[in-house]
Amino acid sequence: MKKNVKIRIAYISTYVLFLVVSLILGYNPGKEITFNFISFLIYMLKILPCAFILIGLFEVWVKKEVIEKHLGEESGIRGYAWVILLAGTIAGGLLVAFPIAYSLYNKGAKLSIVFTYIGAAAICRIPMTLYEASFMGVKFTAIRLLVSLPLVIITSILLGNYLTKRNYKMAEGK
């Protein structure tokens, strides 16, 4: 067995043991941690299966050439617009953004576009933005978007170019 797997089994069993003992003894912090774990597990199960099914469909239906053309090395400014639009309409935040970004990359999207996607998925999902504005006011949300989005694009281009020069490759087979 690999070392990583052993470590993982060790801390997961310690964690579970701690929770079980806490529940039996009625130890409050243990109960609260169990509650947090379950509520976040439910939250993730609400979005993750859908996200992965859509990623699967994306992988079989969308041709590599299409992504290369629109989001690849030759894509230009339009590529950023496309990817921000895509990020804006997909729910789930960073959790879902990483696997999607990974699929985009494997289909030929360039790194600066991949990073823009992640940034945009974090800050400008349309449903979330509307929700935010309803609590914080339109001015607050507008400032946040108008300041952060250009910074996300600029830093993504810088980071993307830097990594491309250094022949960076994303992990394989995830």
Partner 1 sequence: MYYTYTITGLVLIISFIINKQKTLKAVKIAVVKFKKIFPTFITMLIFVSIILFLFPDEVISNYLGNSSKFISVLLASFFGSITLMPGFVAFPLSGILLTKGVPYMVLSAFTTTLMMVGIITFPLEKEYFGVKVTVIRNIISFFIALIVAVITGILFGEIF
Interface contacts to partner 1, rule CB under 8 A: 8, 11-12, 15, 29, 32-34, 36-37, 40-41, 43-44, 46-50, 52-57, 59-61, 91, 93-95, 98-99, 101-102, 115, 118-119, 122-123, 125, 128, 131-132, 134-136, 139-140, 143-144, 147-148, 151-152, 155, 159, 163, 168, 170-171, 173-174
How far apart (Å, rounded) are the C-alpha atoms in residues 148 and 151? 5
Which pair of structure tokens corresponds to residue 94?
A: 């960073």
CA-to-CA separations, 171 to 8, 99, 106, 111, in angstroms, rounded = 20, 11, 10, 13
What minimum distance in Å lies between the beta carbon of 88 and partner 1?
A: 13
Nearest to partner 1 of 81, 158 (CB atom)? 158
C-alpha dihedral sign at 45, 117, 90, 63: negative
What minimum distance in Å lies between the beta carbon of 73 and partner 1?
A: 19
What minimum distance in Å lies between the beta carbon of 81 and partner 1?
A: 20
CA-to-CA separations, 5 to 8, 10, 144, in angstroms, rounded = 5, 9, 41
Nearest to partner 1 of 10, 74 (CB atom)? 10
The amino acid at residue 84 is I
